[in-house]
Amino acid sequence: ANGRGGLALIEGPPGIGKTRLAEVCAAEAERAGALVLTGRSREGEGVPAFWLWAQVLRRLGAHEAGAEALNELADAPAELTALLAPAATPPPRPAHAALAPEQQRFLLFDAVVRTLARAARRRPLVLVLEDLQWAGSASLRLIEHLSFELADLPLLALATVRDEHREASHPIERLLPRLRQQQRCESIALRGFSRR
């Protein structure tokens, strides 16, 4: 609401109340005038690379504050625009074929962040990003990209992630320490109550 954004990582074991806490925070923000957009990661085979973000952007396109902002994604790669149809109304322009794949991916991340920034300047945004432990590496890298831009945006990202044993090579294990280093990141660890 004051024009400065942040990221809250809500961590804990399954069933501890991560989703409930995010829902309550989002409902309070919505009552205060924010637009809440939710995306949920899915476990299993065949989930598209940007499924988490496609849900967020589809919901953004359904609101007056965000439909126009989706114009920023007019030249996004087909892997994202296909997931947004019919929300992405402008016809896709040719992608930057001359650029290296890493540069194309960076420009895609930048376009998504610009889209969210444009919408947030019209109405503060709250992103609820559920179950990051199941998100693909592309979606996780986009979260990291967004985290660098939050300080000057009226945008709060609430991300839930299970606290469970994972291999050190798991993409979320590489991402979490980098997010926690961000100045505008708050880590909220939920734990069970002791008997006392």
Alpha-carbon distance of 7 to 26, in angstroms, equals: 13
pLDDT at 18 over 60: yes
- Give me the pLDDT at residue 97, please: 58
Taking all residues of the chain, what is their mean pLDDT, rounded to a whole number?
85
User: Among 25, 30, 72, 35, which residue's Cα sits nearest to residue 56?
Assistant: 35
Alpha-carbon distance of 92 to 62, in angstroms, equals: 19
Q: With beta carbons less than 8 A apart as the criterion, state whether 118 and 154 touch.
A: no
Alpha-carbon distance of 64 to 140, in angstroms, equals: 27
Q: State pTM to two decimals.
A: 0.84
User: Among 104, 105, 72, 102, which residue's Cα sits nearest to residue 87?
Assistant: 72
pLDDT at 86 over 70: no
pLDDT at 93 over 60: no
Average pLDDT over residues 38-55: 88
- Radius of gyration, CA atoms only, the chain: 17
Neighbours of 127 (CB within 10 A): 26
- Give me the pLDDT at residue 45, please: 82
pLDDT at 90 over 50: no
Q: How confident is the model at residue 72 (pLDDT cuts 50, 70, 90)?
A: low
- Give me the pLDDT at residue 152, please: 87
102 against 52, higher pLDDT: 52
Ranking 30-39, 41-50, 78-87, 163-172 by mean pLDDT, the lowest is 78-87
Q: With beta carbons less than 8 A apart as the criterion, state whether 122 and 65 touch.
A: yes
